[in-house]
């Protein structure tokens, strides 16, 4: 059940991204920005949380899930530390992902060389 939900929710989010690229002709970089910002806003207005409850990894693995973690972190920061928490919270909640991306990215870049597209 959990797997089917993750598949459907994750698949639908990606499908929305494909429609933005193909139909609205947005470059992928823009789609990613829209998705992460949409994740933040949808979480703030309480729409994304239920989606995470239903979809599990299907909602947290796609990029809006990154926005979700950022927004939730910012709220938690505000609850614990007041106004200044808005600045700590988001990055604190996502620090693992950002650090992993930097460290693994650096490692892979050192180990491997790019290849021409076939």
Partner 1 sequence: MKKNQPSQSDYEKFIEDKIPKPNYLKNCTWAFIVGGLICTIGQFIHNRIEAALNLSHLDATNATILIMIFIGASLTGIGVYDLIGKRAGAGSIVPITGFANSIVAPAMEFKREGYVFGIAARMFVLAGPVLVYGITSSVVVGILYYFLKIR
Partner 2 sequence: MLNKKIGKQTIKFLEAPKIISANAIVGPKEGEGPLAQHFDTILDDDLFGLKSWEKAESKMIEETVKAAASKIKLSIKDIDYFFAGDLLNQLMSSTFAARDLQIPYIGLFGACSTLTESLSLSAMMIDGGYGDYAVAATSSHFSTAERQFRFPLELGNQRPLTSQWTVTGAGAAILSNKGKGPSIAYATIGKVIDFGIFDANNMGAAMAPAAVDTIKTHFSDTGLSPSDYDLIITGDLGVIGMDIAKDLLMKEGINVSHNFSDCGVKIFDHEKQDTHAGGSGCGCSAVVFCGYLYTELIEKKIKNLLLVSTGALLSPTSIQQGESIPSIAHAVAIRSS
Per-residue interface string for the shown chain with partner 1, residues 69-98, x marking contact by CB under 8 A: -xx-xxx-xxx--xx-xxx-xxx----xxx
48 sits near partner 1 (criterion: CB under 8 A): no
* Among 7, 24, 28, 100, contact with partner 2 (rule: CB under 8 A): 28
* Residue 43 exposed, middle or buried by CB count within 10 Å (0-12, 13-18, 19+): buried
Indicate whether 51 belongs to the interface with partner 1 (CB under 8 A).
no
Residue burial 64-99, b: 16+ Cβ < 10 Å; e: rest: bbbbbbbbbbbbbbbeeeeeebeebbbebbbeeeee
Indicate which of partner 2, partner 1, none lies near residue 36 (CB less than 5 to 8 Å, by partner kind): partner 1
Interface residue list for partner 2 (CB under 8 A): 21, 28, 114-118
């Amino acid at each position: 059940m959990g797997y089917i939900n993750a598949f459907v929710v994750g698949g639908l989010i990606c499908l929305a991204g494909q429609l933005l690229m193909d139909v609205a002709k947005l470059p992928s970089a823009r789609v990613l920005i829209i998705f992460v910002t949409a994740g933040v806003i949808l979480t703030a207005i309480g729409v994304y949380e239920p989606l995470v409850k239903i979809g599990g990894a299907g909602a947290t693995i796609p990029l809006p899930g990154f926005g979700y973690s950022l927004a939730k972190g910012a709220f938690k920061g505000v609850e614990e530390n007041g106004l200044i928490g808005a600045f700590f919270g988001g990055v604190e909640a996502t620090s693992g992902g950002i650090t992993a991306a930097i460290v693994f990215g650096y490692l892979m870049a050192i180990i491997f060389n790019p290849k021409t597209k076939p």
